[in-house]
Structures are given as structure tokens and as C-alpha cells.
Amino acid sequence: MPELPEVERVRATLEPRLAGRRLAAVTLKRRDIWTPIAGTPKRPPAAEVARQLLAEAVVARLDRRGKQLAVIAEDGRILLVHLGMTGQFFFRPGAGLQRDRHVHAWWTVEAAAEAIGELVFRDPRRFGGLWSLADVEALRERWSELGPDGLEATGPGLQAALGKSKRAVKAGLLDQAAIAGVGNIYADEALFRARIDPRLRCDRLNAADWDRLAGSIRAVLGAAIEAGGSTLRDYRDGEGRAGNARETHRVYGRGGEPCFGCGRPLRFMKLAQRTTVFCAFCQGRRAR
């Protein structure tokens, strides 16, 4: 379940492997995981597919906003990557390596005109995908639909985006247009840390609540990045390594187990279609 911390780890580990290097050739095994540049043919000829997928491009840098990762080429071409639930995007040295049926795209990576390895996009469940964008302007436009990055969450920002909503606050946190990069795991973690009941309606939170929640979001995301990202099943960073942020989870995946705050069993329920774990006591009635 890559959320912001996992995607940031992928970005940070991949960038030094790719920056300044050429993505020589690309193979797209499954076309349906890729979306061409908006306004261009849905099924372009092979040469155009390759061009849009950065064939022969030299990578300038990797940017991230929320859970979205952008590979930016020196010539301005852009490939947007979303890992969905089970996506992996990683570099591995060597060539002709084993590929299973979940590897949907790969690139030959060259340094000084010599192949040094492969960049691989793998995604068993295929909730993720690749999007080609025409230029940085298109990327800017696309990312303008997202809220501020989770690492830059602020109380006033959250309140402006969600303060009038009647949704449960947990549902609000999952809304990428309000705050980008928070998924199910870190929504639960941040709410626990902020001692806010996930079922509480957004419009019932006051400025102090939003401030506390914003601080908790920044803290849990930052701690998870430090820990190397969650080691939930399919997650791998840009070099194929698992993370160990799971040890930092205080509520996620711990339904029924004792709350670290009060020792009472953590409750779990469905909220906004997601498994939600919280402490009805610690996150219960707020002192106001």
C-alpha cells in the first residue's frame, strides 16, 4: 500500500540511479496500464508509444506530489507513475533479468552509452499505472487538482479544504484534493496521534483540532519515511528493498489489540469503505 512515505522512498532511492542517465529502450508489455498524452490517439503507433514513454530520454529528476511520482526528462517529456496498491517501480543492475507476468513495463538504463541496468514497473493488482504528459505545464495542471503535499499539511489549509464538509474526518483525509498522499494507514495513524475520532464530522472540528491533526499528519509521514516505508507485502523502494515502518504503526493492523495509550482493545470498523482502527477511549469525547 504505497502512500506518501513509500512513494517518497521510491523517489529518493531511484533518483540517484536515474538522474543524468538515458532510458534507452522501453518495453510496454501491457498497454492498458498506460495512458497516452491527453488529446493524442488512444492507440498510437509503436514509435510514438516509445517516445511518450521516454525512450531515448535523459532523466533530469524525479518529482513527487502526494502519491504521484513524475519522471522528468531533460527534453521536457514527463512520465507520471502511480503505484496504486501493489505497484513497484525500481532499478536493478544487469540485463535480461527475470520478469514475471506482473512486470508491465521496463526500460534499459544507460550510462555513457552503456547499459547498466533496468528500470522496472511491476504491479500485480494493476491499480497503479503510467501516464504520459506533454510537458511540465501539463504536470503543473495535473497536480493543481491535488491538495498540498501531506508533508506540508497545515491546520488552516486542512480547515479551508474540509472545514465545511459533512463527511467523516477520516473520509476527508483520504480525499487527495484536500491533502495529497494520506491513505488508509496514515489516516488512522494521524487521527490516533491527534486524538480525534475518525467518525467525527469534518465540520465539527475546530481550528485547534485541525492544527493538531496537521501536525500529526506531518509527524507520522515523516517518521514513516525515516523508517524506510511500510513493509506491507508488495512494497519495495527504488532499489527493491522492503521497509520497516510497520513497527511504527500504533493502530493500523492492530484491531482488537490493546491501545498503546490506555490498554483498552482497539476498535475496528468500516468507514468510508475502509477498514478503520481507532481507540474509542483515547480518540473519544474531546475535552473542550
Partner DNA sequence: ATCAGAGCCTGCCAGC
Partner DNA sequence: TGCTGGCAGGCTCTGA
Binding site for DNA (CB under 7 A): 1, 3, 66-68, 82, 84-86, 101-102, 124-127, 165-168, 171, 174, 176, 183-185, 202, 233, 252, 272-275
CB nearer DNA, residue 117 or residue 229: 229
Q: Which of 199, 201, 274, 286 is catalytic?
A: 274
CB nearer DNA, residue 75 or residue 233: 233
- CB of 167: closest distance to DNA in angstroms? 4
Distance CA 119, CA 117 (A): 7
Distance CA 197, CA 53 (A): 44
In the residue annotation, 67 being an active-site residue is answered as: yes
Q: Which of 21, 65, 67, 254 is catalytic?
A: 67
CB nearer DNA, residue 1 or residue 221: 1
In the residue annotation, 164 being an active-site residue is answered as: no
CB nearer DNA, residue 120 or residue 168: 168
In the residue annotation, 236 being an active-site residue is answered as: no
- CB of 35: closest distance to DNA in angstroms? 10
- CB of 67: closest distance to DNA in angstroms? 4
CA torsion angle 189 191 197 199 (round to 10): -80
In the residue annotation, 3 being an active-site residue is answered as: yes
- CB of 228: closest distance to DNA in angstroms? 18
CB 69 within 8 A of CB 81: yes
Backbone angles phi, psi at 199, to 5 degrees: -85, -15
Please, which residues have CB within 8 angstroms of residue 114's CB and are 6 or more apart in sequence?
none
Which amino acid is residue 100, in one-letter code? D
What is the b/e burial string over 247-280, where b = at least 16 CB atoms within 10 angstroms of the residue's CB?
A: eebbbbebbeeebebeeeebbbeebbebebbbbb
Residues known to be catalytic: 2-3, 67, 274
